[in-house]
Structure 1
């Protein structure tokens, strides 16, 4: 297996990042390769771990999950991490978590339908520590 990644591989990857369902033949027309050659390069990128998987861009507001917030967690003590991680794993309204350094212990992105549901989540966090919450007003980033 050729483990080098060239400029054409990068161009193919950028095409897939913009639209992962785009046909290899169409990508090939853009990068001046056959669809079969693009497919081989995509498999190579998978094998090298450059491409780890595919995802779906979805609209949570269409499902009633229009309220998004970022919550910084300040744990009461160092021995609360394991219990807090177990708590996070049980919550569907917590959609992303990062362990951070600096101010706070964790940064979470949460989605709920209502302010009451958000308040309930924040109440459930209090046994573990304090929090700071910022509501999000999403802005679409153009490419």
Structure 2
């Protein structure tokens, strides 16, 4: 099923590389489970970072609030999608 997230009110599409220095990731994972309305996918990755989050937000303000809360559990690198080309 293809979903048009913009029509659902989720205009901001972002990827977050998550960096956790501690080996205990459960607090972060619990936080992520509480925010499932914004998170499309949570990938455990190797290489640059520990996790890759694929997210949608209704506004930049909602994204900012999410990032402020996320900072209690992990550091991150934010990439915002401008346009899908394929």
Please report the TM-score for the alignment, with normalisation by the length of structure 1: 0.57
The superposition leaves residues 106-142 of structure 1 with CA deviations (integer Å, 9 ceiling, x where unpaired) of: 000110011010001111111112100000123152x
For the pair shown, the structure with the greater C-alpha radius of gyration is 1
**Higher helix proportion (structure 1 or 2):** 1
Report what 2:39 is aligned to: 94
CA RMSD of aligned residues (A): 1.1
Any runs of at least 4 consecutive aligned residues in structure 1 with deviations exceeding 6 A, and if so which? none
- Check the 8 A contact 1:112/1:118 in 2, yes or no: yes
Number of matched residues?
A: 85
Structure with greater contact order relative to length (CA < 8 Å, sep ≥ 6): 2
The separation in 1 between residues aligned to 2:21 and 2:61, in whole angstroms, is: 25
Report what 1:7 is aligned to: none
The separation in 2 between residues aligned to 1:64 and 1:90, in whole angstroms, is: 20
The superposition leaves residues 41-83 of structure 1 with CA deviations (integer Å, 9 ceiling, x where unpaired) of: xxxxxxxxxxxxxxx111010111011000001013111x111
The separation in 2 between residues aligned to 1:126 and 1:104, in whole angstroms, is: 15
Point out where structure 1 has 5 or more consecutive residues left out of the alignment. Answer: 1-55
SS at match of 2:63: helix
Please report the TM-score for the alignment, with normalisation by the length of structure 2: 0.91
**Mapping 1:35-54, distance limit 5 Å:** none
Point out where structure 2 has 5 or more consecutive residues left out of the alignment. Answer: none
Residues 1:133 and 2:81 aligned together: no
